[in-house]
Every structure is written in structure tokens, then in C-alpha cells.
Copies of this chain bind each other. A is one copy, B any other.
Amino acid sequence: MIPRKTIYRLSIYLRCLARLRENSIGTVSSEALAKAAGVKPTQLRKDLAYFGTFGTRGLGYDVNELLQKISEELGTSSLQPVILVGVGNLGLALLSYRGFEKEGFEIIAAFDTDPDRKRDKKISQPIFGMHDMPKFIREKNVKMAILSVPPAVAQNVVNTLVDTGIAGILNFAPIVLAVPEDVMVNNVNLAIELENLSYFIQG
């Protein structure tokens, strides 16, 4: 089984390769790519070895081919629909963040307890009330959700999400969520990231 960390790094390699391609670079050695990705060459090679062998000895990797293979492995080839729950400050910013589509994701709708509240920013996605959510998820067969609700209600919302078939949650609420083990949660906690930095810079 491929380690979780390897999967993370595959995403990084993917982005480095995309930049190489933009610069019309056709082949790359594990040394060069590893450097660009901030890892050691042996680690890169080991990571790739988990799902195949793609290089040419003495030469390196074909940028396009490797891009293709990693993309397949990650399942990024097709556009994944995502919903966002909780349209506060952060939620609104994420909705207007144009960096997802390029990477194969599209936030197709947002949900909030108060969908009609006045918000300062124009966004292209529709905002619905929370009770419309289960139906929407089922009908559109959505599998992934971004959670940016206040911590106090997060667990409740998650229970609903899980019940309606969501299998992956990107959680911004500063709380540890309880989910069945077939549901995957990735936590992004900005305060913890800062705290972590703060620890390491003061030794």
C-alpha cells in the first residue's frame, strides 16, 4: 500500500512537472525534479516505484509521460464536483478562490444557515439553505465537501454530510471531527500552523 505521505508528494511532483512543461522542458532527471519539489532524489524514485517504472536509465523521465501517469494515479484526470458548507469569511474567500478549477476541482454550490445574508463579495456559485443540502448531494452525487462552519456546529453538519454520502471532507473548523472510518477528513487549522511555526523559530 502506498504511504499517505507519498500521495502528498505525488501532488507536489505533479505541479513541478506542470511548470517544467510550461517551460517546454521535455525530460527531467530525478535529481532535478527532486530539487524542484524539495525532496531527495532517492525519495522521489522510491515514491514513483510504488506504482510503476517510468524513467529511462541514463536519461531521466519524460515530463509529459510522467505528468500523465501521476495524474492517472491520483485520479485527477476528471473534474470532481465539490460543495462548500459555511459561507462566512473564510468560506466566501474559498468560493472566490480561482485556484481549484485549474487543478481539477469545481465548487459547484455552497450551503449556509443563512443563504440570503448580505455578503460583500460577488461569487459565481449559488448559495442554498442547509435543508437543501442532503437532496443536492444525493442528486448530484457529490463525494467531497469543504467545511468552513463555526466549530460549535461542525460535528452536526458532518453527521449530515456523512449520512448523505460524502466520503471526503476538507475541514477548516478548529475541532477534531468524529467520522466513520471509511470517511476521510483532511484538517486545515491555521492557528495550529502558526503555533507550530512559532515553536520552531524560537528553538
B-binding residues in A (CB < 8 A): 4, 7-8, 11-12, 15-16, 36-38, 74-76, 80, 82, 89-90, 92-94, 96-100, 102-105, 120-121, 143-144, 146, 167-170, 174-176, 178, 184, 186, 188-202
Contacts and interface: CB of A to CB of B under 8 A. Distances in A.
A99 B197 contact: no
A198 B92 CA distance: 22
A184 B167 contact: no
Nearest to A146: B194
Nearest to A11: B192
B99 A192 contact: no
What is the oligomeric copy number? 2
Nearest to A103: B191
A97 B100 CA distance: 21
23 contacts: A11-B191, A11-B195, A12-B192, A15-B174, A37-B176, A74-B199, A76-B198, A82-B194, A90-B93, A90-B97, A93-B93, A100-B194, A103-B191, A105-B191, A105-B195, A121-B121, A144-B194, A144-B198, A167-B201, A169-B197, A170-B197, A186-B193, A188-B193
A195 B102 CA distance: 12
Contacts of A103: 191, 194-195
